[in-house]
Amino acid sequence: FLVFLIALPLCLGIAMASGFPPVAGVLTAIVGGLLTSHVGSAPLTIKGPAAGLIVIALGAVQELGMGDPMLGYRRALAVGAVAAVLQIVLALVRADRLATIMPPSVVHGMLAAIGVIIIAKQMPVLLGVQGAHGEPLEMLAELPHYIAHANPAVAGIGVLSLLVLLVMPRIKALKKVPAPLVVLALAVPVAVLLGFPDGATGGAGALAYTVDGSFLVQLPGNLLDAVTLPDFSMVMSPISIKYILMFAIIGSVESLLSAIAVDSLDPAKHSSDLRKDLLVTGIGNLGVAMIGGLPMISEIVRSKANIDAGATSSWSNFFHGLFLLLFVALLPGLLQLIPLAALGAMLVVTGARLASPTEFKHALHVGRDQLTIFVVTAVVTLATDLLIGVAVGILLKLVLHAVRGRVLLGLVRNPVKVTQQGALLLVQVTGPLAFTNLMSFEGQLRSHLTAEIEEVEVDVRHAKFVDHTVLTRLYGMADEWPKAKLRFVGMDELSPVSEHKTAFRLHA
């Protein structure tokens, strides 16, 4: 029930920001909860729409619609359906392991760029400026103009919502109260009092305002009216193929990384079957695309709230979907009183978390090389799109490895020999250990990790270098092991680029 309360406004806001009808986000969470819960999904994850896919969905709607939002929405659904089939194929060929080799700095740089884009797109909504559009950096530059032309009534609700979302988590006694729920409890009555539902004017001078139902959430009369079929007429066009790849690749990576993170937060330390989780996510995405929903992933914020509330099984995901279904089916009129400015404020806060200065600070703490990869990925993503940004970030990391380690072919060879000595698993590294050969290394390690293993010793004395991605994944795997302990030999013979335990290390 707690996750349902958190998910409801976020689902509406994410769909709205994605260029989809608000109810599309709720459809996704309903299907994600009811369909995927008991068929192999990672048990403690909450499936639903995610802020990280807003940019892809909005881009698909705008480019494929060519000025017609409804046509763009239906063509974006077709893109989502094909991307879902691709996700299913990726799961069947065990490509889920690709998510574990994604350099963290590239992923965080991509998410930081997404955060900036979300803030740029949602500030006009928060301020009540209708019709604002443009590239993210252009819209940020226009912020003083938006403030000067803000609708006082709408902006008042938006700023009030923003203050609640920022201040409440800092008050110890209120930390367990869902701030988005408090926002709705305040914003809805204020909107009704100011006359939003029926239209009204008020104020005086600079504070004069005109409001109407266009500043509120728009929903169909019932859920059956919300069902929308995809338009496959442009599904083989270059634009569609670009967005199919982005939905499938970035959606899969973000979902799998969230599932891995949730496993590390699980008090019982259960390890989810990532291949099965990706397969189930693909099946769920195919289902929601055929009825008008946004793509789903294993969403980290709602999943963490799920664990914090004491969840121990997939039933919590199921009931969160059921509560959403009942609420939308029985009380659609109440949802249509929610001000868009309140949802905009929630998304601005979400964007600020993704692009938080602490993310830059953490990247610098790990090493200047990681900060460089992080910033380049973020800047290129803002200047172009997600796929190009991620590709450039990965290419930059490869170039850095090739220059520092003076190796190229060794980056794709498996430099690891694994042997078992009783309860000890000995891992000997004889070359560069990088994200490029992490998948074969991890598979080899997992095949030897039997129940009798009590210690995993990684000998890096003869390693050319060990990169940040490998160390991050090794420590993450160690947290999942029920009893085996991780120990490094020869780490002091490698020169780290910073004092962080996962910093890149090069043989002197």
**Higher-pLDDT residue of 506, 481:** 506
In angstroms, rounded to a whole number, what is the distance separating the alpha carbons of residues 15 and 9? 10
3-state DSSP assignment of residue 212: coil
Q: What pLDDT is recorded for position 318?
A: 95
pLDDT, tens digit, 9 for 90 and up, residues 291-329: 999 999 999 889 988 898 888 899 999 999 999 999 998
Residue 412, number of CB atoms within 10 A of its CB: 11
For residue 260, the Cα-to-chain-centroid distance in whole angstroms is 13
Strand partners, 505: 466, 496
Token pair of 93 as six digits: 């060929």
Q: What pLDDT is recorded for position 153?
A: 97
**H/E segment holding residue 480:** helix 468-480
Q: What pLDDT is recorded for position 507?
A: 86
> What is 185-204 written as a DSSP string?
HHHHHHHHHTTTTT-EEE--
pLDDT band at 175 (very low <50, low <70, confident <90, very high): confident
Percent of the chain at pLDDT > 90 equals 72
pLDDT, tens digit, 9 for 90 and up, residues 80-121: 999 999 999 999 998 887 777 899 999 999 999 999 999 999
Q: What pLDDT is recorded for position 482?
A: 78
Q: What pLDDT is recorded for position 174?
A: 87
pLDDT, tens digit, 9 for 90 and up, residues 28-66: 999 999 999 888 778 899 999 998 899 999 999 999 999
* Burial 355-386, CB ≥16 within 10 A → b, else e: beeebbebbbebbebbbbbbbbbbebbbeebb
Percent of the chain at pLDDT > 70 equals 100
Query: What pTM did the predictor assign?
Result: 0.91
Task: Calculate the average pLDDT of the chain.
Answer: 92
Q: How far apart are the first and last CA of the chain?
A: 55
Mean pLDDT calculated for residue range 407-436? 89
Mean pLDDT calculated for residue range 349-360? 93
Mean pLDDT calculated for residue range 389-393? 94
Q: What pLDDT is recorded for position 224?
A: 87
Is pLDDT at 410 greater than 80 in this prediction? no
Is pLDDT at 179 greater than 80 in this prediction? yes
30, 321 in Cβ contact below 8 A?
Answer: yes
Is pLDDT at 143 greater than 90 in this prediction? yes
pLDDT band at 271 (very low <50, low <70, confident <90, very high): confident
Strand ordering across the sheet containing 424-429: 416-421, 424-429, 455-459, 485-489
Look up residue 177 and give its DSSP letter: S
Look up residue 208 and give its DSSP letter: -
> What is 332-351 written as a DSSP string?
HHHHTTSBHHHHHHHHHHHH
For residue 17, count CB atoms less than 10 angstroms from its CB and return exposed for 0-12, middle for 13-18, buried for 19 or more. buried
Q: What pLDDT is recorded for position 300?
A: 86
Is pLDDT at 229 greater than 80 in this prediction? yes
Residues 6+ apart with CB under 8 A from 155: 126, 127, 128, 341
pLDDT band at 408 (very low <50, low <70, confident <90, very high): confident
Mean pLDDT calculated for residue range 430-451? 89
Mean pLDDT calculated for residue range 381-398? 92
In angstroms, rounded to a whole number, what is the distance separating the alpha carbons of residues 488 and 503? 14
Q: What pLDDT is recorded for position 251?
A: 93
Q: What pLDDT is recorded for position 413?
A: 86
Is pLDDT at 194 greater than 90 in this prediction? yes
Is pLDDT at 343 greater than 90 in this prediction? yes
Q: What pLDDT is recorded for position 171?
A: 92
Q: What pLDDT is recorded for position 38?
A: 84
438, 473 in Cβ contact below 8 A?
Answer: yes
Pick from 467, 408, 414, 469: which is nearest to 441 by CA? Answer: 414
Q: What pLDDT is recorded for position 347?
A: 95
Q: What pLDDT is recorded for position 504?
A: 96
pLDDT band at 269 (very low <50, low <70, confident <90, very high): confident
Alpha-carbon distances, residue 378 vs 390, 392, 431, 487, 504 (angstroms): 9, 10, 31, 34, 21
Angle between helix 69-92 and helix 238-265 axes, rounded to 10 deg: 60
Look up residue 383 and give its DSSP letter: H
Token pair of 360 as six digits: 């830059």
Q: What pLDDT is recorded for position 477?
A: 87
373, 393 in Cβ contact below 8 A?
Answer: yes
